[in-house]
Amino acid sequence: MSVTGISATEREHYLAAVDSLVKSQVLQGSESLCKLLRYLAEQALQNPGTAIKEYQIATEVFGRPADFDSHLDSTVRVQAGRLRMKLAEYYASEGADHPLIVELPRGSYSLVFHARPILPRSQPAETETRARVRKRHILRTWSAAVIILSTLLAAAVAALVGTWENRSRNRSMSSVSQPAPAAFRTFWKGFLSGPDEPWVIFSNAAFVGRPETGMRYRQSEDSGGLILDHYTGVGEVLAVHELDRVFHLLNRELRVKRGSLFSLDDAKKNNLIFIGSPAENLTLRDLPVNHQFVFRRLESGARKGELAVFNVHPQGTEPTFFASSPRNTQLSEDYSVIALVPGLDPSQSAMILAGTTTIGTQAAVEFVCREDSVMQLLSRMNVRPGGDLKPFEAVLRVKVARGVPVETSLVAVRTDLP
């Protein structure tokens, strides 16, 4: 039955059913799904009959910012789909005899509670028959679901490939495309000219160990053994997406490469955009980089060994370094660097977008991919629309909530660099 008007006893039964789900093997380790399930249950019981909006879930459950756009971020839909599958798996296995069924209907974010029919004890044969029928039904349902999902996945891949193949053709039709903001054209001017596309090099640190048993950054003393160099952070992944969106508006293609495969020959011939600090984007250690705000590890004190942004020439009351939340606490603050420096070839430029963590890196890229924040940075450097952007270095303070950058502010800027 749907939850339209419930008594205190019924509420206890429903919450007990939810609690059983959260403690089940099916949802063990799925903290985000458990959180979503409890939230949807509370909403269904407190506001029966009221539809729950995707925006509401995104901001209140997953910590998305107030400007959340469901067209750009599918987190809620993906997590809701995962929860539906977990509920079906639970009631097909360890919850097969549970008297109450919790369901999340497709196309809705409102939980529904159903009482399972109880068969008479005097009909064991009928019970066994129904159980076999139910299992066959579940198998058919899952088989159909697998076929449907496979078909949708194939269609999605085909659509994605088609999108990328058509994008370059569509960009030539600039008369019908959305014009890029003037702030973007000014800020990225140096990366829009020339015959070759800019390169985006994302961090690609070396790890030792294995994902299933635990990995850590490779240290200098780790000689020999298996080295994994095909991992990067979630911030870097989202950053590449953001840069691609902006350069699409600017009618310019990007070439993306992971740091471990990038060579100095590539650096000599192209404009470069580095995503990630030298601690993870190791290529930066061999190239001209920023000199005012540099990444180093703390050498003493309780936070020895942690990565920080050092302020080489502090001005006024500025601190000598900027450090994120201590490693033994939940990340609530990070610092990022945005820097435009000359490339190996003086005619080329390099943009560095990096944080002390992957979340800070994501925030740095989002900052230069949003019109209002780019305008703020240009204003701080007294660069008018259409003007020339000279080399600069800047530091951002990033507030983090539930693993998401929610607020970013400029704390220091250097221009007129040597």
Per-residue pLDDT tens digits for 201-258: 887 766 666 666 676 666 656 666 666 666 677 888 888 999 999 999 898 889 888 7
pLDDT band at 69 (very low <50, low <70, confident <90, very high): confident
- 223 and 358 housed in the same domain: yes
> Other CB atoms closer than 10 Å to residue 42's CB: what's the count?
13
- 224 and 107 housed in the same domain: no
Average pLDDT, the chain: 80
Residue 52 in this model has a pLDDT that exceeds 70? yes
Of 41-45, 94-98, 219-223, which range is least confident?
Answer: 219-223
- 381 and 267 housed in the same domain: yes
Half-sphere exposure of 241 (CA within 13 A, CB side): 9
Of 148-162, 238-252, 329-343, which range is least confident?
Answer: 148-162
- The answer to whether position 54 is within a domain reads yes
- DSSP state, residue 211: T
> Can you give the CATH number for the domain in which 54 is found?
1.10.10
- The answer to whether position 290 is within a domain reads yes
Of 155-159, 182-186, 353-357, which range is least confident?
Answer: 155-159
- The answer to whether position 133 is within a domain reads no
- The answer to whether position 99 is within a domain reads yes
Residue after which a domain boundary falls, among 118, 134, 156: 118
Number of domains in the chain: 2
Tell me, what's the pLDDT at 162? 52
Tell me, what's the pLDDT at 122? 44
Averaged pLDDT, 314-324: 93
DSSP track, 50-111: PPPPHHHHHHHTS---TT--TTT--HHHHHHHHHHHHHHHHHTTTTTT-SEEEE--TT----
Residues 301, 302, 306, 308: what is their CA dihedral angle, to the nearest 10 degrees?
Answer: -60
Those residues whose C-beta lies under 8 Å from the C-beta of residue 184, and which sit 6 or more positions away, are 246, 249, 250, 371, 374
> Other CB atoms closer than 10 Å to residue 252's CB: what's the count?
16
- The answer to whether position 157 is within a domain reads no
- 231 and 373 housed in the same domain: yes
Residue 161 in this model has a pLDDT that exceeds 50? no
- 97 and 203 housed in the same domain: no
Residue after which a domain boundary falls, among 118, 138, 158: 118
Percentage of the chain beyond pLDDT 90 is: 28
Averaged pLDDT, 301-330: 91
- 268 and 396 housed in the same domain: yes
Q: Report how far residue 415's alpha carbon sits from residue 392's, in angstroms, rounded to the nearest whole number.
A: 5
Closest residue by Cα to residue 187 from 256, 249, 278: 249
Residue 82 in this model has a pLDDT that exceeds 90? no
The beta strands (E) that lie in 232-348 are given as: 255-258, 272-275, 293-297, 307-311, 321-323, 333-342
- DSSP state, residue 6: -
Distance of CA 327 to the CA centre of its chain: 20
Of 89-93, 122-126, 346-350, which range is least confident?
Answer: 122-126
Tell me, what's the pLDDT at 291? 84
- 83 and 226 housed in the same domain: no
- 100 and 241 housed in the same domain: no
Residue 407's domain spans which residues? 181-414
Tell me, what's the pLDDT at 127? 55
Residue 2 in this model has a pLDDT that exceeds 70? no
Residue 343 in this model has a pLDDT that exceeds 90? no
- The answer to whether position 335 is within a domain reads yes
> Can you give the CATH number for the domain in which 358 is found?
3.30.379.10
- The answer to whether position 2 is within a domain reads no
Closest residue by Cα to residue 109 from 142, 72, 67, 70: 70
321 forms bridges with which residues in the sheet?
Answer: 310
Residue 184 in this model has a pLDDT that exceeds 50? yes
pLDDT band at 186 (very low <50, low <70, confident <90, very high): very high
Residue 303 in this model has a pLDDT that exceeds 70? yes
- Which is higher by pLDDT, 231 or 20? 20
Residue after which a domain boundary falls, among 95, 118, 141: 118
Closest residue by Cα to residue 56 from 45, 46, 68: 68
Residue 365 in this model has a pLDDT that exceeds 90? yes
Residues 31, 38, 328, 397: what is their CA dihedral angle, to the nearest 10 degrees?
Answer: 100
Tell me, what's the pLDDT at 3? 46
Tell me, what's the pLDDT at 213? 66
- The answer to whether position 162 is within a domain reads no
- 111 and 21 housed in the same domain: yes
Those residues whose C-beta lies under 8 Å from the C-beta of residue 330, and which sit 6 or more positions away, are none
